[in-house]
Structure 1
Amino acid sequence: MLTPLLRGTTALVCLSVAATAAAQDDPGFLGTLVLTGGKRDLSYGTALARTVVDEEEIKDRQASTVAQLIDSVPGVTLVNGTTPQGSGINIRGFGANTTFGSDQKIAVQIDGASVGSEELYRIGTQLFTDPMLYRQVEVLRGTIGSFAYGSGIVGGVVKLETKDASDFTGGVPGFGGSQTLEYSSNGDGWATSTNLAWMPTDGVEFLLNYTLRDQGDLKAGDGTTIGNSSFRTPSWLAKGKFTFGEDDAQSLTLSYSETVADDKDVPYDQFETTAGSFGRVDRRTDTSQAVAEYRYNPASDLIDLRANLSYADQKIDVDYIDGSSPFQGGQSVAAFCASPFTAVICADNRYQTTKLTVSNRAIFNTGAVAHDMLAGGEVIRKERLDAASSPGGEDRRFAIFVVDEMSIGQFTATPALRYEHSRIESSVPLAGVPDNYEKDALMGGLALAYDFGNGLSVFGSAAYTEGLPIIDDLGTTATALRRIGMSEKSHTFEIGAEYTGVDVFAQGDSFTIRGNVYQTELWDVTSYTVAGSTGSELDSVESRGVELEASYGMASGVYFDLAGHLGDGTEVNPDRTSTTWRNSPADRVQLTVGKKWDDALDLSWEVVHAADRRDALNADLPDNTVHNLRATWRPEQSWAAGTEVRFGVENLLDDDYVGHLSSPTRKAPGRTFKVSLTKTF
């Protein structure tokens, strides 16, 4: 149990939390003020556990997947490798797991579009895209900050923001852009990314990005080949923004992004390194997002209106390769693909999500209370293609939400509410059972914070949410009927503190530290079955942990960044027996030590130590420590203006290990040298 641990860390945590929140685009505990001494911007003045990976860090990490990029955030686990098709994101023990790429307890959004599949067996396509399309990735951990983004969110929210033309033109009319070339020694991986930006006049801007990433099979630390680790993914982004009206109060932003992989003769099971029992397939994965956002922000505290219309489409087309699975036996391909037991191997999958979100932010006073309120509504239509393995259908939802930050002096209370109604309808008749189901839920939370006015503040929150049934719950079995008729419920409690200041230990330094303790309980479980069972769900799941982030920078340019997570979890069976929660994140600490010479040179050494690790079969793994080196150089000579050279070494000591929650056959990559050259023009 974590109780002694929590008592032991409370003193540390309560020595840490921040100054007053600055008004940003989002209100309440979604708003932040940022101060950094090292690579990572730390948010404070908020009761929300929030980490931002900005464009500079995206470039420095030279990650080949977004999942690889954000597994450095406390409580975040990269499940099953470094390929975009097979990897998944787990936050605080929820999200991707050892069976599915998603359990619906993490929301992923690209420019506001909700992306990711439902429960695809042995395919980790929760987030399929390329990091070079984005200027920022934001990770919100837990439930308290989720009510503007969806229901049933227990692990958290991953928000990706694509690049803008003004990032390259400086916000003035003209042309701009960049070209990046990247090479990775392990698997002879390479990438090219081109950005072309144009502002023909004030208020009009266009951006085009094309990125092509190619990677061969990787080598593990012991020199063996990691099977099923090669990929080739072209990605592109087109984006335009038009600003107009009196005082430029109105804007319309249009964006479209797409990533494709066309894999031939690969294992169906993306979590494994060989074909195994599931055989081999030709698989084409195509994920695209289209977004139109209108904003009206006049010179009025009462109006900041946004209307975001998005469409996300994920297609996975599969052709089974005859004779590649031992399950086939002497059957024909048609008979093999028609069998209820093996149909999933041959099934095509397609998920299309159309969503309209309208919200308004208003700032006003009622007597002595100052309000910063976000209110809005959503209409969502999600379609799943019929497959031989399961029926398709539609999930139509309507939701309204409100988040109101109320401040009286140094005390802030932020209540949040969300109401959501869903209607799921099967696209094919279901024998003997209804073909449509309706469900609704009211959920919400309360965050409290007190700012002492000297850089120190404390906060706490309580949140309740419900996960409404999903299309994948449709069916005629007793298990399916039980799942479609109920919603999963959870509550999360958090408490923590922050401190930030300058000239803390030496003249000209800056120091920020944040710690929080969380405890989550999930009941009326429909997502997880008892170990070894396919039809009996767990009674409940508990997840507990401590998260810590800190950044310290000196006037000399020396900096230290620290991120860590320590926790455990429990899964309770219907007979009230219990065991360790199988998806709990590992205990992990990450320390980065570096030095900056103005903007010209940045050298850093990162050490990541993980303990209490398990593989996908729940077998214990030994502790491991990985060392990474990074360097960024911006030549100061006039002929090299706008040039950036980055060099990195990952897994410096060539450690041979399996990642936490990964298949025991899918080892982590061994020593990898990376180099990239970027020219901005």
Structure 2
Amino acid sequence: MDYKKVSALMLFMSFSLQATPQPEENKLTNNIADQQKNNQNKTVNEDIEDVITVIARSSSPDELKKINSVIAGRSTLSLGMIEQKQADNVAELLNTLPGVSSAGSIRPGGQTLNIWGFGKVEDVKIIVDGAQKGFQKYQQGSVFVEPELLKQVEVNKGPHDVKFGNGGFGGVVKMETKDAIDLLDPNRYVGGLLKYSFHSNNHQNMETGAVYGRTKNNFFDGLFYYTKRNSGNFKRPDGSRFVFSEDDMKSYMGKLNIRPNEEHTFTLSGIHSKRDSWQPWAAKYVEKMMPPTAAQIKKYGYKAAWLRKLVKRYQTDDSAQFKWNYQPTYNPLIDLTLHTTYSKTKQDDKRPAKNNPVASLGTMGNKSWVSYTDKTIELENVSLINIGDVNNALKIGVQTHLHDRDTLMYYKNYEKKPNYHYGYFQPAYMPSGKQQTYSFYVQDEISVSNWVLTPSFRYDYVRNHGKKNYASAYNDPDPKFGHNYSPVTYSGWTPRLGTYWQATNNIGFFGDISYAWQAPTVDESYEVQFTPKNGGSGKITATSRNLDKERDLSIRLGNILDFNNLVLDDDKLQIRATLFRQRVTNEIFVTRGFNGSICGPGKPCPLGQSNYRNLPGKLIVKGFELEAFYDSKYWFSSATYSMQKGERDTAPQAPWMHNKTYVATVAPRTATLTTGFKVPQWNIRAGWNAQFVRKQDRTGHEDRNHDGLPDLGAYALGPSSGYSLHNLFASWQPTFLPKAEVKLAVDNLFNKDYRLYLGENTYGLARNFKASLSYRF
């Protein structure tokens, strides 16, 4: 990529976000009424606001607009866009944002998120109403939130937000669920919602019901939401089916906001989702299952021959929050928030007890029980301090994050082996353990004239605790094999600096630089292998308590252009360009042999090598994004473009080789185009969308070392071909039935046969007709 040309281009971009004064006293009732009014009466700029957040609105065209760099660089999907997409999962919802890609398969529960080439679970923080979701089960997805519950999704790319530490190199995805005031008419105190949706590809039926209300004085508002998805198997473009990809998911949500006066706000909410189905054990990558042979069908019967290859999976996903905000009316030094959250995801898998099920150590045996629990508590205060012409918003916070993972499997083949605890033990590649994080952060948002400077620093203390395996094969006391599950700690500072400059009423620039770090996960610290007396080699058996933390020097530069009344009255154009570079050192990678060697050619390795190691050199991911959005009374359009490139200084499975290798998890170059029309008098909106994805040929399969072997070995991804997808969408609110709304969409209009690169070349979906009918009363 020619960064000089890109940088020159960015100098000609410009931006003017429309700001509004901070809320003043006696704001409670007015703010709620205004929010309800905005929910019912969309502005002509709603199509832009669905993707690039309009921060606020100016009461004077001459007023300078000031925001911070994190806000300037983030992307936001609002309620209108979420409902229009009618997505099956959150990854599908975000997949069209530049720099954000879905990884894994289309199977229910098989998706993870990749931002700027960072695709590990710990690299992309998932936040739902403030609750962190930390599901890291091997070969499974990580995002199980029902999109129907969401009113807004924010994507903050890169590690530039002071509120998040220890990870998140790719970024943070913050999801907010619906409130009663998002659904109520301004003059109503009680309401309800009924909605039905249908997807043709997998014959999916989805029913939604909700009841909600508020008191006349807005003392409290609350809602209860229920949604159910039920579907058959997904279809590929060639007409075949992803067998055993049925979905049967139910979600429940309750939320209550209490405002005893203008200074206090309390929020209580909870979400519960559950799935229960037969499916392949590895939801993330299993695509085409080998059907049973004629001999197997004859021996077990057709149904049993299939089921012996599957697991009966029962999954629950829960999250809850309590939030208290105290903001005295006449004291700008206090804006205090106490926020506590709880999140737990469980998967219980069971293979059929009879008919010789296909079970193995690598797929967690005949039965398995896994749970990941995250608990957080945060206390934060924001003080507004004005000294002359300098305005300060000083943010100080403390956080505690407790992550607990319990894993257990039963492997029938080992039920008579005492060294494997008679079949009940933790998978060696997915140990049980805890990670405790204690944090402190300070940020000062300094506004001077048309500049906003945001210096911050954060301190994290991380303590990993391993849990000894029940199986002595993975808990050998001989120190030369390194089965050491004792705690290990990491700590350090993360300095950040952000800046935003409103050069003119139409030109603004933003930039961020962060030096973040990430501690090893429980997996990386405590994965082991069995020892020689249990049949192993003893070469790579040890836990990895000697790892250094990873470091990421991340730089982001950008600017945005914003014009009103450019061609037509009340039209709007926004363009945002972003240039980024991330440099990771001490990258943690799994230790495995390469070309017959573990420590290098001719170098003998002692027994008990750690299962993970830090790589020498650096990993660099850099890229460029361009987003343009136009909206007017009758017409709207948008275009995005994203390109990324990633390279390491060395081969990760052979760190003694100093030849450069590509980063396999970098998404292909992608562009999107959208255009459509609106008929305001009939409440009709319709359009066309296309996604253009380039082939990906930098996958780690290359032989840049000229040794006859792929650079990344088994950790490479297969090259993929380019493709384009075309979609249609429409919505209609009948004037004779204003409380009803119909939404229609067609995905993959031309039934294009395509493969998902980050899904290890799994098939995409065939043409899919989507329709929903909702009615509010």
TM over 0.5: yes
TM-superposition CA deviations, 1:589-621 (whole Å, max 9, x none): 111101112270101100110113368952222
Q: Note closer, same or farther for the CA distance 1:10–1:530 as it changes in structure 2 (3 Å cut).
A: farther
Q: Find the aligned partners of 1:427 and 1:448 in 2 and give their Cα distance.
A: 44
Matched, 1:112 2:142: no
Q: Which moved more, 1:388-397 or 1:154-163?
A: 388-397
Give yes or no for contact 1:538–1:572 (8 Å, CA) kept in 2: no
1:348 CA drift (Å): 1.9
Give yes or no for contact 2:281–2:311 (8 Å, CA) kept in 1: yes
Give yes or no for contact 2:201–2:234 (8 Å, CA) kept in 1: yes
Matched, 1:378 2:399: yes
Instruction: Tell me the amino acid that sits aligned with residue 268 of structure 2.
Output: L
Matches within 5 A, 1:273-288: 273-275=287-289, 279-288=309-318
TM-superposition CA deviations, 1:483-509 (whole Å, max 9, x none): 564211111111111111212244432
Q: Find the aligned partners of 1:527 and 1:663 in 2 and give their Cα distance.
A: 19
Matching residue of 1:18: 15
Matching residue of 1:301: 332
Matched, 1:581 2:590: no
Matching residue of 1:642: 739
The alignment's TM-score, normalised by the length of structure 1, stands at 0.89
Q: Note closer, same or farther for the CA distance 1:41–1:87 as it changes in structure 2 (3 Å cut).
A: closer
Q: Which moved more, 1:415-424 or 1:52-61?
A: 415-424
Q: Which moved more, 1:522-531 or 1:381-390?
A: 522-531
Alignment partner of 2:226 out of 188, 191, 210: 210
Alignment partner of 2:462 out of 415, 422, 445: 422
Matching residue of 2:285: 271
Matches within 5 A, 1:552-567: 552-555=630-633, 557-567=634-644
TM-superposition CA deviations, 1:525-552 (whole Å, max 9, x none): 1156689797565443211110111111
Give yes or no for contact 1:280–1:324 (8 Å, CA) kept in 2: no
Q: Find the aligned partners of 1:272 and 1:537 in 2 and give their Cα distance.
A: 30
Which runs of structure 1 show a deviation greater than 6 angstroms over 4 or more consecutive aligned residues?
23-26, 323-327, 529-534
1:480 CA drift (Å): 5.7
TM-superposition CA deviations, 1:298-317 (whole Å, max 9, x none): 22322221111110011111
Q: Note closer, same or farther for the CA distance 1:457–1:182 as it changes in structure 2 (3 Å cut).
A: same
Q: Find the aligned partners of 1:596 and 1:86 in 2 and give their Cα distance.
A: 36
Matches within 5 A, 1:177-196: 177-196=192-211
1:513 CA drift (Å): 0.6
Matching residue of 2:300: none
Higher strand share: 1
Give yes or no for contact 2:544–2:612 (8 Å, CA) kept in 1: no
Q: Note closer, same or farther for the CA distance 1:401–1:594 as it changes in structure 2 (3 Å cut).
A: same
Instruction: Tell me the amino acid that sits aligned with residue 206 of structure 2.
Output: A
Q: Find the aligned partners of 1:169 and 1:133 in 2 and give their Cα distance.
A: 15
Alignment partner of 2:69 out of 47, 64, 79: 47
Q: Find the aligned partners of 2:436 and 2:750 in 1 and give their Cα distance.
A: 51
Q: Find the aligned partners of 1:161 and 1:674 in 2 and give their Cα distance.
A: 24
Matches within 5 A, 1:98-247: 102=121, 104-118=122-136, 120-124=137-141, 126-145=142-161, 147-170=162-185, 174-202=189-217, 203-245=219-261
Q: Note closer, same or farther for the CA distance 1:657–1:94 as it changes in structure 2 (3 Å cut).
A: same
Matching residue of 1:571: 648
Give yes or no for contact 1:37–1:559 (8 Å, CA) kept in 2: no
Matched, 1:500 2:550: no
Matching residue of 2:773: 677
Q: Note closer, same or farther for the CA distance 1:21–1:570 as it changes in structure 2 (3 Å cut).
A: farther
1:369 CA drift (Å): 2.2
Matching residue of 2:421: none
Instruction: Tell me the amino acid that sits aligned with residue 494 of structure 1.
Output: R
Instruction: Tell me the amino acid that sits aligned with residue 365 of structure 1.
Output: N
Q: Which moved more, 1:200-209 or 1:651-660?
A: 200-209
Classify the secondary structure of the residue corresponding to 1:117.
coil
Classify the secondary structure of the residue corresponding to 1:38.
helix
Give yes or no for contact 2:368–2:407 (8 Å, CA) kept in 1: no
1:383 CA drift (Å): 1.1
Q: Note closer, same or farther for the CA distance 1:82–1:368 as it changes in structure 2 (3 Å cut).
A: same
Q: Note closer, same or farther for the CA distance 1:554–1:166 as it changes in structure 2 (3 Å cut).
A: closer
Matched, 1:352 2:373: yes
RMSD of the TM alignment (CA)? 2.7
Q: Find the aligned partners of 2:730 and 2:592 in 1 and give their Cα distance.
A: 47
Instruction: Tell me the amino acid that sits aligned with residue 287 of structure 2.
Output: T
Matching residue of 2:345: 314
Q: Note closer, same or farther for the CA distance 1:144–1:344 as it changes in structure 2 (3 Å cut).
A: farther
Q: Which moved more, 1:374-383 or 1:198-207?
A: 198-207
Matching residue of 2:678: 596
Q: Note closer, same or farther for the CA distance 1:652–1:15 as it changes in structure 2 (3 Å cut).
A: same
TM-superposition CA deviations, 1:33-64 (whole Å, max 9, x none): x9946353413744232111111111100101
Q: Note closer, same or farther for the CA distance 1:427–1:537 as it changes in structure 2 (3 Å cut).
A: closer
Higher relative contact order (CA 8 A, sep 6+): 1
Instruction: Tell me the amino acid that sits aligned with residue 234 of structure 2.
Output: L
Instruction: Tell me the amino acid that sits aligned with residue 675 of structure 1.
Output: A
Q: Note closer, same or farther for the CA distance 1:35–1:309 as it changes in structure 2 (3 Å cut).
A: farther
Q: Note closer, same or farther for the CA distance 1:368–1:480 as it changes in structure 2 (3 Å cut).
A: farther
Q: Find the aligned partners of 1:92 and 1:363 in 2 and give their Cα distance.
A: 34
1:454 CA drift (Å): 2.1
Matching residue of 1:30: none
Q: Note closer, same or farther for the CA distance 1:312–1:35 as it changes in structure 2 (3 Å cut).
A: farther
Q: Find the aligned partners of 1:210 and 1:35 in 2 and give their Cα distance.
A: 31
Q: Note closer, same or farther for the CA distance 1:441–1:481 as it changes in structure 2 (3 Å cut).
A: farther
Larger radius of gyration: 2
Q: Find the aligned partners of 2:150 and 2:646 in 1 and give their Cα distance.
A: 33
TM-superposition CA deviations, 1:244-276 (whole Å, max 9, x none): 13xx21011100101111122534443212456
**Unaligned residue ranges in structure 2 (runs of 5+):** 24-42, 55-66, 292-307, 409-425, 470-474, 529-539, 599-610, 700-714
Matching residue of 2:535: none
The alignment's TM-score, normalised by the length of structure 2, stands at 0.78
Q: Find the aligned partners of 1:36 and 1:9 in 2 and give their Cα distance.
A: 28
Q: Find the aligned partners of 1:282 and 1:554 in 2 and give their Cα distance.
A: 51
Matched, 1:491 2:491: no
Classify the secondary structure of the residue corresponding to 1:444.
strand
Matched, 1:92 2:116: yes
The count of residues paired between Structure 1 and Structure 2 equals 646
Same amino acid, percent of matched pairs: 23
Q: Note closer, same or farther for the CA distance 1:201–1:150 as it changes in structure 2 (3 Å cut).
A: farther
Matching residue of 1:607: 690
Matched, 1:435 2:496: no
Give yes or no for contact 1:410–1:450 (8 Å, CA) kept in 2: yes
Alignment partner of 1:456 out of 483, 500, 507: 507
Q: Note closer, same or farther for the CA distance 1:244–1:171 as it changes in structure 2 (3 Å cut).
A: farther
Matched, 1:653 2:745: no
Q: Find the aligned partners of 1:603 and 1:343 in 2 and give their Cα distance.
A: 48
Instruction: Tell me the amino acid that sits aligned with residue 76 of structure 2.
Output: V
Q: Find the aligned partners of 1:434 and 1:94 in 2 and give their Cα distance.
A: 28
Matched, 1:7 2:4: yes
Give yes or no for contact 2:400–2:438 (8 Å, CA) kept in 1: yes
TM-superposition CA deviations, 1:380-407 (whole Å, max 9, x none): 2111114320432222221011222112
Give yes or no for contact 1:228–1:272 (8 Å, CA) kept in 2: no
Q: Note closer, same or farther for the CA distance 1:350–1:92 as it changes in structure 2 (3 Å cut).
A: same
